[in-house]
Amino acid sequence: MNQSRPAAFRFQPFSRRQKQVLTWWCDGSPVRDAEGIIADGSIRSGKTVSLSLGFCLWSMSRFSGQNFALCGKTIASLRRNVLGGLKQMLTARGYTAAERRGDNLLILRRGSVENYYYLFGGKDEASQDLIQGITLAGALFDEVALMPESFVNQATARCSVAGSKFWFNCNPEGPEHWFRKNWIGRAADKRLLYLHFTMEDNLSLTPPIKARYRAQYTGVFYERYIRGRWVAAQGLVYPFVAEHPDSYILRGTTAGMDGAFYISIDYGTHNPCSMGLWCVQRTVAVRLKESYYDSRAMQHQRTDEEHYAALEELARGYYVREVIIDPSAASFIETIRRHGRFAVRAASNSVLDGIRVTASLLQAGRVKLHENCTDALREFAAYCWDDAAHEDAVLKENDHAMDDIRYFCYTILAREYRWADWRR
């Protein structure tokens, strides 16, 4: 029986802005001689879909037998966020898309035309070494603002084939970000087409979905992810918790609460050591209780064994699946492992990505704190951005419970349970 594709999987019409991305390079376009394109703006605005498809249509119509680069923050995120939908769209248009995962290579064919698209991850300064030596006819950078400048400079320097072009997309970061200053700010000098997107440019989003995204963010995250503005991070990191604490607090008894239990730790000797016991249920994670020890206030510096005794006390009566801890706490990690009771996982310690995840989960109602977590609630009301910093940074004050909560949200909820759309 011939069944139509479910509505959720139908390709929606392209908006006017998306059509600009798809056709700017075509014969007859007044900007066809531009050296590349930059598409920035809000989340869920259709940048990635149109840019990745446009990149492939351009490259397959202009070249054959050439190498191209598809760049994401990681290859895993590139496959997840770009390749799946891209291959569907290309197949629907008569292309053959064959992926050789072991070589991180996508091969596109149509008729007698065949090109090679190598996948690269630009997650840190060392990533530039991965792309050295290859000759490219073009490069696409998905979420370029999350990549180091050295990687982007190395990749663009590889584009030496005549007619090669650069394709960039990103959500905004701070106003001093290197990509805003050196690429967007110099777009005219570099002969780049610059297009700004909003959620209105994505015709697949329904009004309720757009309203949900708008309600999910406040402060700097709203300005960047919804309005698409390159603004500085100022004031409280989580102002919505300080303004409406009752929305994030669970009151009453937690006796009999069932789920998967974890403990997150921000280890400290001179600085406070913060531990939180978490219960992950089907749709929400609750910080049931905490252990917070400030050696300066107590005028006694704990040993690792004393910290471990506090961990045992926090876990009393619970089966804890894993202890999530700052990877720099080598001596305490070894102490925990030596005792043999708890499985230990080094936390994913990306501060800014972790803050994005935590804010998203809090505002989506996925993370709650029991009222007895008084030190965590106190820090939520005092944890601030460093207004004097040129790039996004937080003040290293009132950040110990904030760090252990971030470790848990970014390492467990966003990756194990995939609750947060942390890529934005």
Boundaries of every domain in the chain? 11-205, 239-413
Q: Which CATH architecture has domain 239-413?
A: 2-Layer Sandwich (3.30)
Strands 105-110 and 36-41: unpaired
Q: Label residue 1 by pLDDT band (50, 70, 90).
A: very low
Confidence band (pLDDT; 50, 70, 90) for 256?
confident
Architecture of the domain delimited by 11-205: 3-Layer(aba) Sandwich (3.40)
Comparing 11-205 with 239-413, is the CATH topology the same?
no
Would you state the pLDDT for residue 421? 55
Q: Is the pLDDT of residue 3 over 50?
A: no
pLDDT (tens digit, 9 = 90+) per residue, 297-354? 999 999 999 999 999 999 999 999 999 999 999 999 999 999 999 999 999 999 988 9
pLDDT tens digit sequence for 195-226: 999 999 999 999 999 998 888 787 888 899 99
pLDDT of res. 424 = 40
Q: Helix 207-216 vs helix 351-363: angle between axes, to the nearest 10 degrees? A: 120
User: Which pTM was predicted?
Assistant: 0.75
**354-370 pLDDT, tens digit each:** 998 999 899 889 999 99
